[in-house]
A and B are shown apart, each in its own frame.
Chain A
Amino acid sequence: MLADLAAYLEGQGIGSTSATPPSIAVAFVPNVPDVCVMLFEYAGQTPVLTNDDQNLERPGLQVRTRAGRAGYSAAKAKAKAVEAALLNAKNTELSGTRYLSIVPTGAIAFLEWDKGGRPVLVQNFTVRKQM
Chain B
Amino acid sequence: MTTNAKSAHGTTLTWNGHDVGEITEIAPPKTKLSMKEVTNNDSGGWVERIPALLDAGEFTIKGNFYEGDTDGQIALQADHIAKTARTAVITLPAAFGTSLTMTAYCTEFGLVTPQNDGGEASFEATFSITGQPTFSVATSTGLTTPFFTVSTGTILPAAAGDVYTYVVDVATGEDSITVTPTASAGTITVNGNTVSSGEASSAIALGAAGSVTIVTIVVTETNKAPKTYTLYVARAAT
Q: Which residues of A contact B (CB under 8 A)?
A: 48-54, 56, 90, 100-103, 126, 128
Contact = CB atoms under 8 A, between A and B. Distances in A.
B126 to A, nearest CB: 17
Contact of B118 (A48, A54, A102): A102
Given A50-B64, A51-B11, A51-B13, A101 B23 contact: no
B143 to A, nearest CB: 36
Contacts, number: 46
B207 interface: no
B120 interface: yes
A51 B12 CA distance: 6
B21 A54 contact: yes
A126 B116 CA distance: 12
B19 A52 contact: yes
B117 interface: yes
Interface residues of B, number: 17
Contact of A52 (B22, B26, B118): B22
B9 interface: yes
A40 B117 CA distance: 20
Nearest to A50: B22
B12 A128 contact: no
A48 B117 contact: no
B119 A128 contact: yes
A49 B117 contact: no
B152 interface: no
26 contacts: A48-B24, A48-B120, A49-B9, A49-B24, A50-B24, A50-B64, A51-B10, A51-B11, A51-B12, A51-B13, A52-B12, A52-B23, A53-B10, A54-B22, A90-B118, A100-B118, A100-B120, A101-B118, A101-B119, A101-B120, A102-B118, A103-B118, A126-B117, A126-B118, A128-B118, A128-B119
